[in-house]
Amino acid sequence: MDAARAEALLDFLALADRLKTVERRGRVPLPGGSTRRENSAEHCWTLALIALLLHREVAREIDLARALSMIAVHDLVEIEAGDTYAYDPAACATQAEREAAAAGVVFGALPPDLGARLRALWEEFEAGESAEARFAMGCDRMQGFLQNVLSDGQGWKEHGVRRADTRPRMDPARAVDPAFERLIGALYARAADGGMLPE
């Protein structure tokens, strides 16, 4: 590795570190009963842990390294585009365009070979066609749902989200594999028992 490539990698890592400053709508419970907003880097860490736990629980063999690679890069575009709340129709309508533009900036900060490789992983995740991309998507959506359950539905309550609102987002994740169906079904049951997600 020459000096210019080393500098480019360090500069990109500094850029990527900004993911820690992108706030999501999910809440993180704190000692004493208060909460704070989750950030996108925390989301990605929990998502990676979910993937590590589940990759051998699903029926189809998953290339864990590829799935984790997609998980590591899938939200980097939020550094430029911001997080898009899943239950905000107006923001969702412009998400693909905003994130594609952000991908050019974020992945363009890398040397061309690495930028192309990471952008291809991001595009694979977004397309959702490979087994690993569908698995990663299932983990991603499950993490957001889990975070809401862990915070007693505070994020849902703040935004008036009802059970029916979650179905278009969660049904594709539940369909990935019976393991996702079981886990997400159990989360729905916890949400119902706790009065977190109105019918």
Q: Where are the domains of the chain?
A: 3-193
Neighbours of 142 (CB within 10 A): 24
Matching residue, tokens 């500094």: 14
Answer whether CATH 1.10.3720.10 is correct for domain 3-193: no
What's the token pair of residue 96?
């693909």
Q: pLDDT under 50 in the chain at which residues?
A: none
Give the tens place of pLDDT for each residue, 162-198.
999 999 999 999 999 999 999 999 999 999 999 999 8
Beta bridge partners of 164: none
Which pLDDT score, from 0 to 100, does residue 172 have?
A: 96
**Distance (Å, whole) CA 56 – CA 91:** 35
Which of 154-192 are b and which e, b meaning 16 or more Cβ less than 10 Å from the residue's Cβ? bbbbeeebeeebbeeebeebbebbebbeebbeebbebbe
Which pLDDT score, from 0 to 100, does residue 33 have?
A: 84
